[in-house]
């Protein structure tokens, strides 16, 4: 998942919004394609100026290079990372994961 400033984000097409409890404990909105059900992007209430885009929805997901792994406490034992990244058990403090 990558974060982008909300002011620089735009999308087209119909979506369905689903509200869930985010990792911060605040509500998060998951925006889903109404045609295929794919999870497209998120708008967390804990970070109102941010949009989180799911890397698998990008036309060229190889262009995304992660710099941290978040919520590793929820990762199953068999899901080892292929590349070394800074790992956070939960959501890191705002200044750490940039």
Taking only the tens place, the pLDDT of each residue in 42-65 is: 988 888 888 988 888 888 888 888
Backbone angles phi, psi at 18, to 5 degrees: -120, 130
- Which SS3 state, helix, strand or coil, does residue 7 take? helix
Comparing CA positions, the residue from 31, 25, 19, 6 lying closest to residue 90 is 25
What are the angstrom distances between the C-alpha of 90 and each of 3, 14, 27? Answer: 16, 31, 16
Parts of the chain with a pLDDT under 70: 93-98
Instruction: Name the percent of the chain lying above pLDDT 90.
Output: 19
B/e letters for 45-54, b = 16+ CB within 10 Å, e = fewer, are eebeeebbbb
């Amino acid at each position: 998942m990558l974060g982008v400033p909300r002011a620089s984000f735009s999308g087209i097409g119909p979506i369905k919004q689903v509200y869930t409890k985010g990792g911060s404990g605040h509500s998060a909105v998951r925006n889903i394609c109404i045609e295929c059900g794919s999870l497209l992007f998120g708008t967390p209430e804990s970070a109102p100026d941010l949009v989180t885009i799911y890397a698998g929805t990008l036309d060229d997901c190889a262009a995304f290079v992660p710099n941290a792994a978040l919520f590793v406490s929820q990762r199953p034992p068999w899901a080892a990372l292929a590349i070394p990244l800074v790992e956070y058990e939960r959501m890191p403090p705002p200044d750490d994961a940039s």
